[in-house]
Amino acid sequence: MEKDGAAQDNPNSQQKKLIPPYMKAISGSFGGIVEASCLQPIDVIKTRLQLDRSGNYKGILHCGTTISQTEGVRALWKGLTPFATHLTLKYALRMGSNAMLQSAFKDPETGKVSNHGRFLSGFGAGVLEALVIVTPFEVVKIKLQQQRGLSPDLLKYKGPVHCAQTIIREEGLRGLWAGASPTVMRNGTNQAAMFSAKNAYDVLLWKKHEQDGKVLQPWQSMISGFLAGTAGPICTGPFDVVKTRLMAQSREGGELKYKGMIHAIRTIYAEEGLAALWKGLLPRLMRIPPGQAIMWAVADQIIGLYERRYLQITPL
């Protein structure tokens, strides 16, 4: 009886009922499916702009219009299958691994995670997703997106599986991990900032703390997610451009133009100027913050439902 009374008197007792990492993974995967379906055209435009060295596209609208007119509207969803699969698996791994890493930084008494621990957990989750999922899927996606033309018979890659098989045959298995270094830097930094910022905005804007039983409205999650997703693209623009260039190049016709991440940065800067390292920034800002808004709106609802139904956590 004394133990029951102590548990009732201790407001932190609810917070010790931890949400299992697999639930965080499930919430992220559902969010990824919705995000991919909504935002694929912006990703196609971003990729085309980053690969455009001759100035064929005058901007986002011109690029999208040109693709639609010359290749059909469906071309704006090129690479959707690997993109949706990649986002679903990426968010599952990101959310699940971040939850597992955060558990190592939790205070055993309060169950809270320090800002330092949250940052390191996010960085670790970003590095893991970059190596395991992001790099090979983005290599295939970018190869598909850079193809131009209306006739499938004239395209080198017939689909995601054929594209992956062709890359392995021509470049070896390592070809699927082209651009791994800038991808690790981009994703690690992005996720460290994103998880830290999302928690900070939840607390600042809505007085929402982790596992306090409070479920944000979808529009509240979208605002926090949108704001959390803005810093990463600005800070990691050069890594994203270099990643795209390294993934898009092939050995056909001789030596590779870019030898690695540092060489690519130097070459792009020397040939195209400093601004070229932030090519595609606007479409990234049009895609990533809204993508985070959509993903968190879905994920927060799933996690909130789980807290209420299975952990019986009620607002403190």
Q: What is the pLDDT of residues 252-306, one digit of tens each?
A: 666 888 989 999 999 999 999 999 999 989 888 888 899 999 999 999 999 988 9
As a whole number of angstroms, the distance between CA 299 and CA 236 comes to 25
Task: State the pLDDT at residue 14.
Answer: 44
Q: Which of 130-134, 169-173, 196-200, 282-286 has the lowest mean pLDDT?
A: 282-286
Q: Is position 173 within any domain?
A: no
Of 50, 18, 30, 20, the residue nearest 182 (C-alpha) = 50
The answer on pLDDT for 6 being more than 70 is no
The answer on pLDDT for 4 being more than 50 is no
Q: Is position 190 within any domain?
A: no
Q: Is position 159 within any domain?
A: no
pLDDT digits (tens, 9 = 90+) for 69-125: 999 998 898 878 877 887 899 899 999 999 999 988 888 777 788 889 999 999 999
Task: State the pLDDT at residue 5.
Answer: 46
The answer on pLDDT for 13 being more than 60 is no
Q: Is position 59 within any domain?
A: yes
Cα dist. 147→57, 157, 232, 250, 298 in Å? 15, 8, 28, 13, 33
Q: Is position 194 within any domain?
A: no
The answer on pLDDT for 164 being more than 90 is yes
How far, rounded to the nearest angstrom, does the alpha carbon of residue 87 sit from its chain's CA centroid?
A: 7
- 266 versus 38: the higher-pLDDT residue is 266
Task: State the pLDDT at residue 252.
Answer: 65
Of 198, 212, 175, 47, the residue nearest 125 (C-alpha) = 198
Q: pLDDT above 90 covers what percent of the chain?
A: 51
The answer on pLDDT for 58 being more than 60 is yes
Query: Looking at the 3D structure of the chain, how many domains does it have?
Result: 1
Q: Which of 64-68, 136-140, 144-148 has the lowest mean pLDDT?
A: 144-148
**Mean pLDDT of the chain, nearest integer:** 87
Q: Is position 122 within any domain?
A: no
Q: Is position 29 within any domain?
A: yes
pLDDT bracket for residue 15 (50, 70, 90) = very low
The answer on pLDDT for 228 being more than 90 is yes
Q: Is position 34 within any domain?
A: yes
The residue range of the domain holding 61 is 18-78
